[in-house]
Chain A
């Protein structure tokens, strides 16, 4: 009986705390319930980076081991840019009238295919987008960002409601 009373008091306390916060007019929203005690650490891993897991297969990201593919393209991109770096002085060394080294061509004469160059460019753009996405996620966490993002979502909802209303009218 005493045990049950203690539990009721605790539950009542929690309820009152919630009611008090709601009464204060603090804006709230449902959050994700996360169990941390006893569970595995969330977040990045020392060997697996930002993912926090070795991704063996992900169909959305191009199949098996997308992390390594990313690293490969990154390292090949680095190599390419290094080669491009080598190419630049070689280009400046070329005397007037001699054939300039075009983009994708290295000083050693190795040709980089247009597909590879395009892929590299796409990769760079993807990296920029990733950075922008991370900034967006951070922004969403800030007080101002959260409010603006909520407003944006409400605006989207209103827009789709308008669309729906329009369709109903037709």
Chain B
């Protein structure tokens, strides 16, 4: 543990030293950008239905500052500061069906606050809050519909609760599904290797002595299509993350528009659990002109509790009317089968949840 902390400090020292000894900046740039992504979300939990006005958590409302210095032809040092601000996030249980108020706290949430040092031959070193090596490894998707549907299916209506026919809450959609997408964004040090042909590898180390490793691949075949894939593994098994986990996802896009996406994630040896949770995801899509359509299916087992079986089917359409503006619509069906031994006494099985989201994302 101490050894790893020393390693982190050593890496920081190296990075700062490099900054100091490098020649003067050759090119400097600093940019501000952002997006607003709002939607109308209708849901039906089997007992009641409701309409919500939400921030689409598939790709939340946010803005960011980016910038960098190029030093000679090889070095680049840059920063990313990205924050999100969501009013009624679509995955927040405060907007459950039957809740009439908006979410009370609307704050800035950190996404990325990091700097990086990059060398053309030696790779890229990140320091700060940002994507861990494993972030996104379950979410490779070339369908063009990720603004409303991708393997993290709970982003769309994760705030809705599964209820029995007496309206007793069992768990939320967000609590029943997971794509086991690594460690998301954290305070960490991360290193990306340079590309070896179509492949590069990453590793990160973060608070709680957790670590992860990942690999990514992208390859394009002339007149045929493009393949992208990623996978991660962590056996950190720390107090912060007391398990080992891995996931992989791949997406194939033919030049004529047909595309396929698959993802798998699993968590092993979770403390206090007898069964290992895992998730399977598959998607078929079609892209043409300004349109993208997709149908997906996800199956999660043991995610919320031992012997849970949850499944979901989604249909999505995205219209990129202008390059900076897109409109989308999606229908998603959710089903949870929880073992009676895992439910509170007197609580029945979950009713199905249907949800429809219609909205738009505007980049500014």
> Contact: A41 with B139, CB < 8 Å?
no
Encoded as 1 (CB less than 8 Å from any A CB) or 0, chain B from 215 to 237 comes to 01111111110111111000000
A-B contact pairs, 30 of them (CB 8 A): A6-B264, A6-B266, A7-B248, A7-B264, A7-B266, A10-B264, A14-B250, A28-B219, A28-B220, A28-B222, A30-B220, A31-B228, A33-B200, A33-B228, A33-B230, A34-B218, A34-B228, A36-B141, A36-B142, A37-B140, A37-B150, A38-B150, A40-B59, A40-B363, A46-B324, A46-B364, A52-B33, A53-B66, A57-B28, A57-B30
> Contact: A46 with B32, CB < 8 Å?
no
The one of B150, B222, B323 that contacts A146, using a Cβ cutoff of 8 Å: B222
Q: How far is the CB of A19 from chain B (nearest CB, A)?
A: 12
Q: Could you tell me the distance between the alpha carbons of A83 and B287 in the complex, rounded to whole angstroms?
A: 47
The one of B27, B33, B222 that contacts A26, using a Cβ cutoff of 8 Å: B222
> Contact: B266 with A3, CB < 8 Å?
yes
Question: Which residue of B is nearest A4, CB measured?
Answer: B266
> Contact: B326 with A26, CB < 8 Å?
no
Q: How far is the CB of A168 from chain B (nearest CB, A)?
A: 24
Interface footprint category on A? 35 or more
Q: Could you tell me the distance between the alpha carbons of A125 and B323 in the complex, rounded to whole angstroms?
A: 26
> Contact: A54 with B32, CB < 8 Å?
yes
The one of B139, B140, B324 that contacts A43, using a Cβ cutoff of 8 Å: B324
Q: Could you tell me the distance between the alpha carbons of A46 and B246 in the complex, rounded to whole angstroms?
A: 39
Known: A3-B278, A40-B59, A53-B32. A29 touches B219 (CB 8 A): yes
> Contact: A59 with B221, CB < 8 Å?
no
- Tell whether B190 is near chain A: CB-to-CB under 8 Å: no
Q: Which residues of B contact A48 (CB under 8 A)?
A: 33, 364
> Contact: A18 with B136, CB < 8 Å?
no
> Contact: A143 with B262, CB < 8 Å?
no
> Contact: A11 with B248, CB < 8 Å?
yes
Q: How far is the CB of A62 from chain B (nearest CB, A)?
A: 12
Q: Which residues of B contact A40 (CB under 8 A)?
A: 33-35, 59, 62, 64, 82, 363
- Tell whether A17 is near chain B: CB-to-CB under 8 Å: yes
Q: Could you tell me the distance between the alpha carbons of A3 and B276 in the complex, rounded to whole angstroms?
A: 8
Q: Could you tell me the distance between the alpha carbons of A18 and B217 in the complex, rounded to whole angstroms?
A: 11
> Contact: A33 with B216, CB < 8 Å?
yes
- Tell whether A93 is near chain B: CB-to-CB under 8 Å: no
Q: Could you tell me the distance between the alpha carbons of A26 and B229 in the complex, rounded to whole angstroms?
A: 19
Q: Could you tell me the distance between the alpha carbons of A37 and B364 in the complex, rounded to whole angstroms?
A: 19
Q: Which residues of A contact B34 (CB under 8 A)?
A: 40
- Tell whether B147 is near chain A: CB-to-CB under 8 Å: yes
Q: Which residues of A contact B361 (CB under 8 A)?
A: 41
> Contact: A44 with B59, CB < 8 Å?
no
Q: Which residues of A contact B155 (CB under 8 A)?
A: 38
Q: Could you tell me the distance between the alpha carbons of A29 and B278 in the complex, rounded to whole angstroms?
A: 33
Q: Which residues of B contact A56 (CB under 8 A)?
A: 30-32
Q: How far is the CB of A102 from chain B (nearest CB, A)?
A: 40
> Contact: A6 with B29, CB < 8 Å?
no
Known: A3-B278, A37-B152. A14 touches B30 (CB 8 A): no
Q: Could you tell me the distance between the alpha carbons of A43 and B218 in the complex, rounded to whole angstroms?
A: 20
> Contact: A38 with B198, CB < 8 Å?
no
- Tell whether B268 is near chain A: CB-to-CB under 8 Å: yes
Q: Which residues of B contact A37 (CB under 8 A)?
A: 58-59, 136, 139-141, 146, 150-152
- Tell whether A60 is near chain B: CB-to-CB under 8 Å: yes
Which residue among B33, B141, B155, B227 has the maximum number of chain A CB atoms within 10 Å of its CB? B33
**Given A37-B141, A47-B364, 17 additional A-B pairs, CB 8 A:** A10-B264, A17-B252, A29-B222, A30-B218, A30-B220, A34-B218, A35-B140, A40-B34, A41-B35, A41-B326, A41-B363, A43-B363, A45-B33, A45-B364, A48-B364, A51-B31, A54-B31
Encoded as 1 (CB less than 8 Å from any A CB) or 0, chain B from 231 to 269 comes to 100000000000000101010100000000010101010
- Tell whether B325 is near chain A: CB-to-CB under 8 Å: yes
Q: Could you tell me the distance between the alpha carbons of A127 and B349 in the complex, rounded to whole angstroms?
A: 66
Q: Could you tell me the distance between the alpha carbons of A62 and B1 in the complex, rounded to whole angstroms?
A: 48
Q: Which residues of B contact A59 (CB under 8 A)?
A: 25, 27-29
Q: Could you tell me the distance between the alpha carbons of A9 and B27 in the complex, rounded to whole angstroms?
A: 47
Q: Could you tell me the distance between the alpha carbons of A10 and B216 in the complex, rounded to whole angstroms?
A: 15
> Contact: A28 with B363, CB < 8 Å?
no
Q: Which residues of B contact A53 (CB under 8 A)?
A: 31-33, 66
